[in-house]
């Protein structure tokens, strides 16, 4: 427990995993870092470092008390690019791996960032805890409720700090909103609306299956998902529109908005859930998750409505995305 407390103390001091800095110039990060004793640093590795894994990595390296010493990705091109990025920031090249299990064997790594697609999170996290690592895992926590339960059990049993990428909880505006909500000034809340309308999000061109590109370990990328031929749409970025790997816009954006709604209402498991939707906007594209969806969550004293749409810009109250608590006052 001393190990856990010490890590939490240091992580809190540097804001571990709490900032979104995808487009921060590397030179700016590098120039703002200062020399610090190796004994006072958190050494971390990144598993899956193209998209959010890279964003998290850049955010963490803004703090001089951290070093990225290892990278793992199934794509050689991504590995080489990110390795250069790390060297540009820290002055040192990290060790690189194609198999995350080999990365976890590195005893010099204190913590890992899990930036893989959703369907890998459960195995990555449980294996990382078994390897005695602290963890920052990208949202959503998993690709199924069963996996989330396995991850929760493993996290409770481990003496490690585990954080899931619900970084919106750190936003001061949400704290202010919660305090206003809990003050009772809007009266009794009977309905909560949560939504994401993304006019620019979710369209993909149809591509035929092809041979796997050179330098990509596609079997490793698939991992626990069913074996299939390589398809560009099921790889970087657009994987989230297929059930084998993710849950579409609801688990991409909804995981943030619904989290705030449940926080505000101090709610956990609903009494019932019903949903309706489909591929109404782009029925001919080869994706699977719904581009239009309405979901009703029933609780004892209120209902919550989630809705999303790809290809439509305007949502409730003229906002593309948000959370609304509707009270009697």
Cα–Cα distance, 283 to 291 (Å, whole number): 9
Are the C-beta atoms of 292 and 278 separated by less than 8 Å? yes
Sheet holding 111-114: strands in order across? Answer: 95-97, 66-72, 42-47, 111-114, 134-137, 162-164
pTM of the model: 0.90
Per DSSP, the three-state class of 65 is: coil
User: Phi then psi for 318, rounded to 5 degrees?
Assistant: 75, 10
- The tens-digit pLDDT sequence of the chain (329 residues) is 455 556 555 555 444 443 444 567 888 999 889 888 888 999 999 999 999 999 999 999 999 999 999 999 999 999 999 999 999 999 999 999 999 999 999 999 999 999 999 999 999 999 999 999 999 999 999 999 999 999 999 999 998 999 999 888 888 999 999 999 999 999 999 999 999 999 888 788 999 999 999 999 999 999 999 999 999 999 998 999 999 999 999 999 999 999 999 999 999 899 999 999 999 999 999 999 999 999 999 999 999 999 999 999 889 999 999 999 999 99
For residue 41, give the nearest of 5, 68, 4 by alpha carbon: 68
Are the C-beta atoms of 260 and 174 separated by less than 8 Å? yes
Q: Which domains does the chain have, with CATH numbers?
A: 2-165 (3.40.50.720), 170-203+241-327 (3.30.360.10)
Are the C-beta atoms of 325 and 298 separated by less than 8 Å? no
CA angle 38, 17, 111 (to 5 degrees): 45
């Amino acid at each position: 427990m001393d190990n856990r407390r010490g890590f939490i103390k240091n992580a809190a001091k540097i804001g571990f995993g709490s900032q979104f800095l995808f487009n921060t110039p590397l030179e700016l990060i590098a120039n703002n870092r200062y020399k610090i004793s190796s004994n006072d640093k958190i050494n971390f590795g990144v598993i899956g470092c193209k998209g959010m894994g890279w964003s998290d990595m850049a955010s963490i390296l803004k703090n001089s008390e951290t070093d990225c010493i290892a990278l793992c990705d199934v794509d050689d091109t991504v590995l080489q690019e990110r390795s250069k990025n790390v060297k540009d920031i820290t002055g040192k090249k990290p060790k690189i791996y194609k198999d995350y299990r080999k990365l976890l064997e590195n005893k010099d790594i204190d913590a890992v960032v899990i930036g893989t697609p959703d369907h890998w999170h459960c195995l990555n996290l449980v294996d990382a805890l078994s390897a005695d690592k602290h963890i920052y895992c990208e949202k959503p926590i998993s690709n199924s409720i069963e996996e989330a339960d396995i991850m929760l059990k493993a996290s409770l049993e481990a003496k490690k700090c585990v954080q899931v990428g619900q970084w919106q909880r750190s936003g001061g505006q949400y704290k202010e909103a919660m305090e206003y909500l809990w003050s009772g000034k809007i009266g009794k809340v009977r309905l909560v609306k949560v939504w994401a309308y993304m006019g620019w999000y979710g369209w993909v061109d149809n591509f035929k299956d092809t041979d796997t590109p050179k330098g990509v370990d596609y079997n490793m990328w698939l991992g626990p998902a069913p074996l299939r031929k390589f398809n560009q749409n099921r790889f970087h970025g657009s994987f989230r529109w297929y059930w084998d790997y993710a849950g579409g816009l609801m688990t991409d954006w909804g995981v943030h908005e619904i989290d705030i709604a449940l926080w505000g209402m101090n709610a956990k498991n609903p009494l019932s859930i019903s949903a309706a939707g489909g591929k109404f906007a782009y029925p001919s594209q080869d994706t699977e998750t719904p581009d239009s969806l309405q979901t009703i969550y029933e609780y004892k004293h209120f209902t919550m409505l989630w809705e999303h749409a790809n290809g439509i810009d305007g949502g409730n109250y003229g906002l593309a995305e948000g959370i609304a608590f509707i009270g009697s006052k």
